[in-house]
Structure 1
Amino acid sequence: MQKANSKSLTAISLAPKFAANNYKPPQLTIMQQFYLLIFFYLSAILGLAAQPVGMAAYPNKKGLRAMQLGEGKLKIDGLLNEAAWQEAPIAEGFTEYEPAPNTPGSFRTEVRVIYGPSAIYIGAYMYDPAPDSILQQLAVRDEVSGSNADYFTVYIDGMFRQQNAFHFTVSASGVREDASDGDQLWDAAWRSGHQILEDGWSVEIEIPYSQLRFAPQEQQLWGINFERYIRRYRESAYWSALDPEIDGEVQQFGLLYGLEGINPPLRLSLTPYAASYLTLENGQAPSFRASAGADLKYGINESFTLDVALIPDFGDVQSDNLQFNLSPFEIYYTERRPFFTEGTELFGRADLFYSRRVGSRPSRASWASSQMDSTETLVSNPERSQLINALKLSGRTQKGLGVGVFNAVTAPAYAKIESEKGEERSIKTESLSNYNLLVIDQQLRNNSYISFVQSSVLRSGGFTDAMAWGTEFRLTDKKNRYVLSGSGAYSRRYLDQELYKEEIEDGFKAYLNVGKIQGQWRWSLNQTVYSDQYNINDLGYIGRPNYLRTTANLDYYIFKPFGRYNYMHYNFSTYMEQLYKPYNFSRIEMNAQVSATDKNFLYSFFNLAFQPLGYVDFFEAREAGRAWNKPIWGRIRGYFSSDYRKPFALDGDISYRPFLSANPIWKNAYTFEMELSPRYRFNDRANLVLSQNLTLRNKNLGYVNRLADESIIFGQRSYQTMESQLTFNYLFSPLISLSFRARHFWASVAYSDFYVLDQTGDLLDSSYDALHDQNYNAFNIDLIFRWRFAPGSEFNAVWKNAILSEGQYVEENYGRNFQQMLEDNPLNQFSVKLLYFLDVPRFGKELAKRF
């Protein structure tokens, strides 16, 4: 087959290749408009199924009737003193979930629900005989559950699918937290008030209907639950009891009924932003840039939402935790850009989507240097492609059909080359590119689902095009005791002929799991297969393909307190791994571990791991089919975390892994890792966390070089890494915070001996002697002042300092190394950014009143 020499691409859409022979680009409509039409079409033909009416259909569930708000208004101040609150039915009788499941909560809790024409209101009264003991630490928004404070949470399943829910939390210090189906980065626009009282504390919550999802029906039936958390007892109690031996929480919610005559409102919001950046770098003139854009959210109907980022800017996000990499595999970095982290739970199906690919390093960036002659120099070579725009369409119908669409466009990238005569020319390192993802996910009964996923990256001008198709499913029995789950995917890439000899690359993966998911005893068996040419790295992430793995797990849980413990979990697991092509044995590993929480809330974890047959490594040599034989090893690991209720707390992790071999090359070879993380809470406003990680790899062995005669050189080295991180937070109020984060990562590699890898996978002595020592430093400071001055609106001021230092001189003294690193060229960036949330329908009404 021959690959076409040209491709058609517009600023918004790309024409995919359907065949390599006689390829002619089809005339497509604009891709983003095409996806919009899909959503409108699905919304029109699917409709919404009628919900079950009334409590009679669910005799085993708790119920609460919501009361309609009359002509009066509620002041959201935390005081439940309006007449409407006194008349509303009460939800009470909370049951403990932790630390003593299925026992009554320590103190009485009363919750009432009122609904109005545009919002639902929740009022909760948490009685406490010692109100001066209520813990009230301030925290950054969405970090309530990790703070030293009591809190109250309402969970709402407005579509009543019994699988997904929104949650809204308010702490005793007034800090808010919200999540959509577990997505902690989702931020809704809602209000709350709280009060510390003589006999406890109270909270009042107003949630606009525009922030929820429910069907347009005259009579509503919602799933609902309430949680009260008493921090000093570490006690979590729910109105509708949750059994820890049952898999799935939403299915155990109670019911909210009595909601009549409310309809899903128009959900349309605009969040414009403006940002400016000042960059200072030694030896260069200061640079200034400004940007502006907007995020648009539009509720197509009560089920689907369109999110559009117009000229997005992510220059103020937290710096990456850069790592030093000697392995043959790419490092996975966490996504931090808000648009790519919010509301993306659907896009994780079949593991085909890694959002950091969008706007990542141009595909021909490394190739550019090979296009110069001896008289030219590389002046600039962009590390990232510029994102032009991006959109997400996602939602789920009342029938449980979820649809998600992601589309993004990035601009072409060019490297600049300059000749000795000062003449400049450009080389294209990335074309105009379009990234697409489509997910269709049907929820079934008993927390089951089946999904289909399709992804594509389409580039013009002879660059690589990539496509993948996948599926994922989860099926449980009626009692939700056993599960059969799995996934599969197929990838196809039309390769860039400037970079690859092959024209097309095809691959697949498959995963199948069966297990018991309920009760104290649980088990699972699963099989994973990745073919040798499976590659989704244009829009997904795969660390390594070409292996088969068979895994068995056995778990035993003790949920109820006994003796000195509140909770205990035993686990035994083992897996066997083989190469997919050729079909060769690789390793067997066994793990045994126990974790427990005692009465003083000290969490501890102990683990033993063993590879009894060693490890035949088919990847470290960086050549297909070449094996490297590693010896037997064992590992012992322990971890502890003390009680965070105390002002001072400490986390610790230590592990030791020796290699066991008669070969003198491996004598005294081991890996030792230790991490200590003390934290101190000065008061309810200020806290500090210090984390220190040290990894020592004595007589470590690994790949070094490939010689002209095809010899593969390995080296023995002393390989050490040290990571230090300091985080300090100061909360001026629940809405105003100052966060300081400094991180230093240091890696040093000093070689002592070199070996050549023979065809049997063993290492033989070599006369090779070249300098490969490395000293690597990555240092970052992030200082962020954040003011959330209105729901959905915020002002950020950020200072970022970054130093990246690499060299071949290894400094053994940490202090001297740190001092020398600071003398390198630092990059300082100062930025301010303003985002303002506009609820368009409400904004329109306000304008109408004024004019």
Structure 2
Amino acid sequence: MLSSRILHIITFLCVTSMAFSQTEDTSEEKEQKIEKRSYTTNSIGTAEAPKIDGVIDETSWDLVEWTSDYVQNQPDNGKPPTEQTKMKIVYDDKNLYVAFVCLDKDPDGIVKRLSRRDGFEGDWVEFNIDSYNDDRTGFSFTINAAGVKGDEFISNNGNNWDGSWNPIWYVKTQTNAEGWTAEMRIPLSQLRFGNEEEQIWGIQSTRRYFRAEERSLWQPIAQNAPGWVSEFGELRGIKGIKPQKQIEIQPYLLGQLDTYKEEAGNPFRDGSDIMGTAGLDAKIGITNDLTLDLTINPDFGQVDADPGAISLDGFEIFFEERRPFFVENKNIFDYSFGGNQDNLFFSRRIGRSPQGRTTTDFDKGEFEDFPNNSTILGAAKFSGKTKGGWSVGVLESVTSKEFVEIELDERDDIINGLPEKGTSRKELVEPLTNYFVSRIQKDFNDRNSYIGGIFTATNRDLEDNIMFLHKNAYSGGLDFKHNWKDRKYYLEGSAVLSNVNGSEEAITRTQRSIVHLFQRVGAGHVEIDTSKTSLTGTGGKLEIGKGSGDWQYEFGGNWRSPELELNDLGFLRQADEVRQYSSVVRLWNKPTNWYRRANISAYQSTTYDFEGNFNNVYYQLNAYANLKNNWFVEVGSENNGHNFDKSDLRGGPRIRNSNDHLGYIYTGTDSRKKLSSTIGYVYGQASENAFSFTRYELRFQYQPLNSLRINMTAKYESRPNKTQYVSQQDFNDVTRYITGAVDFETISTVLRVNYTINPNLSIQYYGEPFIARGKYSDFNYVKDAGAKKLSDRVQQYPNNQITFADETYSIDEDSDGTTDYSFGNPNFSAAQYRSNLVVRWEYIPGSEVFFVWSQGINGFGDGSNDFGKIIDDQIFRQQPQNTFLIKATYRFVL
């Protein structure tokens, strides 16, 4: 049954593709194409190279003409801009030089906001280069009127902008009676290009005129164009330059002091630790197109902590990668294929928290020193894109064995009969592990199509006490995308294959995990096989759509087979699923007398498992408007109709969830103002009040000075649920799936303060308190998981069957005076506070010093207190753990 559903989806998409390809042009498609602009530069030869001071007075600039005639892109596409911009480009054998004159009738009104690198505040001008000339990738250089740099690597035709790319380049700005000027020097070693005698590059320039929140472009593009890079104009006239092989070496030195609450008798918690370390990052140009990145003993001490979060559904919480080595060029390794962040490569698996457990007996006075993360001994990344259209990425990393040291209480009053004081042992909790990823894509069909592949491998050196892990795990995939009719329409797809191997214990553990749940009651197509030593699964997607124009839409389907397993080096939330989806969006980008731009979109999906069970149908409707005064309003609604969940009961039968409806509204003020804010409200409720969801959200930003910016987001959420899973117990050889009514609430606040002394020296503070509380009541058990009415679905325990003592609920279901089964008190409260204060000084381009103070507090309770008491007991009365570190780097460019 399932295979026929997949076949029907694929057949439908292919037939629709053929129909689209033969559709006659609509009136929108018959519009006259925008002429591609061209600028011809010149070598400065023996002339004096421009001095990068923001004053455009060197004779070398006279070798070329100004180009101008920028046109609006936002808000009124195609109209003349409020203020015009002029640009010049010259070059020599080592550098590209770019000059801008940003005319402004009111120079005193130019907004010069300071920020850290990549802040993009105030008035700015941007220069994009597609030196591959592949219509998909580019390099972006931005400078604002205050002299703050921004640089990003552009990929996927403008759908991905990677701000972690930090090349070495030079720029200065000046303000004069005509407006403001900027001079750039971009070393050719920071770009990638072929070895042709004459280079033809794609270029684009964007100016932000802050007071009108206006964007103007050197190369005009159509409204709702199919991409960004593919619409660039051309730069001609560069002749005789040679590709520059990039060689950069960046060692670092670090000193660190940790302070924390001393624990009496614990040899590992004496109140403080001090350490020093060193490491090295290197970037070596193998060719002009391909770069080898190396890191030895990497440090990520200045990286922000993850936001606070608690999941009651049992699934792993997805957190974004923040470590610079893995963030840079991550788009090359990306292989997403089905929503829910599912991806064959999830770099946070490298250096993950150790997965093993120890035999530490805390009741007998033993203590342990458990590492927070696995140590990355080294990593290498080979990546880039060739002039011939090959995108290549290879990543290799090794993490070390991780041991937990276990010792007895240091105090003299050791309990008699225990081993002597000083006895210690080490236990392995994470094996030596090798991670490998290779990714490749090839452009063809005049860069309108590509085909690609990926292969990942995880290999572990297992020992007896960690045989529950996979010995090795492999995954591979093929993907493609085809665009036609000037990239208006597209067809894309992917296929995935996974294989994991290990002991019978390891594979049984995988089958029982919440990702798979092969033990599910009533599932006829899966079952636990304790003799298996491997699992092999498949996944993929196929999608067709229209990606440009006022109307855009997509139709698609994806699948993940029951045995698909990616979580050794990828991310997979749930296997055993087939999903069909479609969406349509209508865009209005021509301003009217009440909005600047607006859109409305609709989304629909249905979900099945591989047995053919119809599990879910979902609808979503959203509308957005950016108003004339630059405020915005966003509203939307969602509906879950037919809704069964196969994981709620952790291996029990599929259980019906009551149909639910949700709506939201967000509105925000003009973000250009010194003080701006956004407020949001979300409310959803299921039939019979089975569960509900409420969110209140407030965001504000305040910029009292050009150098000072304060951002805060505060959020409150409430998720009461009458059938939250609690436990499963045996009663007369029948499994009771116990649920209860939970009042689950969270409060979080994120505060960021940025003080920028100058573009190279800044102070940044980040702080986030997070509090969660869950209080349970009205316990019940599932009696008919598929019943439509809540009262038929579960049976609540009467008062004479349930008692509570010593943090345990005891159930006498047959009322014979004897406890039939029991479960622990599930109430909880959790409080967390994370903060980070960073002083960053880029003392020369590419070389930095960081002064960091990080603070962390974790507190846990039984959920009986209100939020005020939780904050007082679990945060204010806890001694924080502090980390003070100094890190210095120096970037050698060879």
- Shorter chain as denominator, the TM-score bin is 0.7 to 0.9
User: Residue 472 of structure 1 is aligned with which of 479, 484, 489?
Assistant: 479
CA contact (8 A) 2:65 2:88 kept: yes
Deviation at 1:87, TM superposition (A): 3.3
What's 2:490 paired with?
Answer: 483
Deviation at 1:728, TM superposition (A): 1.0
Deviation at 1:237, TM superposition (A): 0.8
What's 1:738 paired with?
Answer: 763
Deviation at 1:495, TM superposition (A): 2.4
Structure 2 Cα separation of the partners of residues 225 and 96 of structure 1: 13
What's 1:628 paired with?
Answer: 655
What's 2:889 paired with?
Answer: 835
**CA pair 821-59 structure 1, distance change in 2 beyond 3 A:** closer
CA-to-partner distance for each residue in 1:8-31, whole Å, 9 max, x for gaps?
xxxxxxxxxxxxxxxxxxxxxxxx
The 5 Å alignment of 1:104-183 reads 104-144=80-120, 147=121, 149-181=122-154, 182-183=161-162
Structure 1 Cα separation of the partners of residues 503 and 622 of structure 2: 47
Structure 2 Cα separation of the partners of residues 384 and 274 of structure 1: 20
Asked whether 1:637 is paired with 2:638, we answer no
Structure 1 Cα separation of the partners of residues 682 and 362 of structure 2: 51
Structure 2 Cα separation of the partners of residues 620 and 743 of structure 1: 30
What's 1:55 paired with?
Answer: none
The 5 Å alignment of 1:570-649 reads 570-580=600-610, 582-613=611-642, 615-623=643-651, 626-649=653-676
Asked whether 1:712 is paired with 2:737, we answer yes
User: Residue 868 of structure 2 is aligned with which of 814, 827, 847?
Assistant: 814
What's 2:436 paired with?
Answer: 436
Letter in 2 for 1:251: S
Deviation at 1:426, TM superposition (A): 2.6
Q: Secondary structure at the match of 1:322?
A: coil
Which region of structure 1 is more displaced relative to structure 2, 309-318 or 777-786?
309-318
User: Residue 354 of structure 2 is aligned with which of 347, 356, 362?
Assistant: 362
CA contact (8 A) 1:349 1:471 kept: no
What's 1:670 paired with?
Answer: 692
Q: Secondary structure at the match of 2:647?
A: coil
Deviation at 1:374, TM superposition (A): 8.4
Letter in 2 for 1:77: D
CA contact (8 A) 1:446 1:477 kept: no
User: Residue 555 of structure 1 is aligned with which of 575, 579, 585?
Assistant: 585
**CA pair 475-705 structure 1, distance change in 2 beyond 3 A:** same
Q: Secondary structure at the match of 1:143?
A: coil
Letter in 2 for 1:453: I
What's 1:536 paired with?
Answer: 566
Structure 2 Cα separation of the partners of residues 809 and 555 of structure 1: 44
What's 1:660 paired with?
Answer: 687
Deviation at 1:711, TM superposition (A): 2.3
Asked whether 1:285 is paired with 2:315, we answer no
The 5 Å alignment of 1:771-786 reads 771-786=825-840
CA-to-partner distance for each residue in 1:124-168, whole Å, 9 max, x for gaps?
001111111111111110121xx2x11011100112111110000
What's 1:21 paired with?
Answer: none
Deviation at 1:61, TM superposition (A): 2.2
Which region of structure 1 is more displaced relative to structure 2, 318-327 or 766-775?
766-775
Deviation at 1:496, TM superposition (A): 4.1
Structure 2 Cα separation of the partners of residues 540 and 441 of structure 1: 19
CA contact (8 A) 1:526 1:550 kept: yes
CA-to-partner distance for each residue in 1:786-809, whole Å, 9 max, x for gaps?
111111111110000000111214
Q: Secondary structure at the match of 2:719?
A: strand
The 5 Å alignment of 1:670-709 reads 670-709=692-731
Letter in 2 for 1:167: S
What's 1:32 paired with?
Answer: none
CA contact (8 A) 1:649 1:679 kept: yes
What's 1:511 paired with?
Answer: 541
The 5 Å alignment of 1:224-263 reads 224-263=203-242
Structure 2 Cα separation of the partners of residues 76 and 96 of structure 1: 29
Asked whether 1:415 is paired with 2:404, we answer yes
The 5 Å alignment of 1:61-140 reads 61-69=36-44, 70-140=46-116
Asked whether 1:275 is paired with 2:242, we answer no
Deviation at 1:179, TM superposition (A): 0.7
What's 2:813 paired with?
Answer: none
Letter in 2 for 1:802: G
Structure 2 Cα separation of the partners of residues 379 and 819 of structure 1: 26
Deviation at 1:572, TM superposition (A): 1.2
Q: Secondary structure at the match of 1:394?
A: strand
What's 2:8 paired with?
Answer: none
Q: Secondary structure at the match of 1:169?
A: strand
CA contact (8 A) 1:291 1:313 kept: no
**CA pair 711-521 structure 1, distance change in 2 beyond 3 A:** same
What's 2:459 paired with?
Answer: 458
Deviation at 1:678, TM superposition (A): 1.6
Structure 2 Cα separation of the partners of residues 343 and 446 of structure 1: 20
Letter in 2 for 1:457: T
Deviation at 1:655, TM superposition (A): 0.6
CA-to-partner distance for each residue in 1:68-111, whole Å, 9 max, x for gaps?
11331321011101122233222211111100111122222110
Deviation at 1:701, TM superposition (A): 3.1
The 5 Å alignment of 1:332-343 reads 332-343=318-329
Asked whether 1:302 is paired with 2:312, we answer no
CA contact (8 A) 2:134 2:447 kept: no
Structure 2 Cα separation of the partners of residues 622 and 416 of structure 1: 34
Structure 1: stretches of 5+ with no match in the other structure = 1-57, 841-851
Which region of structure 1 is more displaced relative to structure 2, 472-481 or 300-309?
472-481
CA-to-partner distance for each residue in 1:722-763, whole Å, 9 max, x for gaps?
001211111101111101111001000011121112353422
CA-to-partner distance for each residue in 1:392-419, whole Å, 9 max, x for gaps?
0001111101110001000011234457
**CA pair 790-374 structure 1, distance change in 2 beyond 3 A:** closer
Letter in 1 for 2:744: Y
Letter in 1 for 2:184: I
Letter in 2 for 1:421: P
What's 1:790 paired with?
Answer: 844
What's 1:196 paired with?
Answer: 175
Structure 2 Cα separation of the partners of residues 113 and 106 of structure 1: 24
CA-to-partner distance for each residue in 1:413-470, whole Å, 9 max, x for gaps?
1234457314333322221110000001112335432210000100113551111011
Structure 1 Cα separation of the partners of residues 868 and 723 of structure 2: 24
Structure 1 Cα separation of the partners of residues 594 and 869 of structure 2: 44
User: Residue 314 of structure 2 is aligned with which of 328, 331, 335?
Assistant: 328
**CA pair 373-827 structure 1, distance change in 2 beyond 3 A:** closer
CA contact (8 A) 2:38 2:235 kept: yes
Letter in 1 for 2:116: V
CA contact (8 A) 1:215 1:398 kept: yes
Structure 2: stretches of 5+ with no match in the other structure = 1-32, 155-160, 263-269, 337-342, 409-417, 509-531, 787-792, 803-808, 810-823
CA contact (8 A) 1:600 1:643 kept: yes
Structure 2 Cα separation of the partners of residues 551 and 265 of structure 1: 46
CA contact (8 A) 1:248 1:447 kept: no
Deviation at 1:362, TM superposition (A): 2.3
What's 2:414 paired with?
Answer: none
What TM-score, normalized to structure 1?
0.88
Deviation at 1:818, TM superposition (A): 3.7
Count of residue pairs brought into register by the alignment: 769
Which region of structure 1 is more displaced relative to structure 2, 310-319 or 417-426?
417-426
Q: What percentage of aligned pairs have identical amino acids?
A: 26
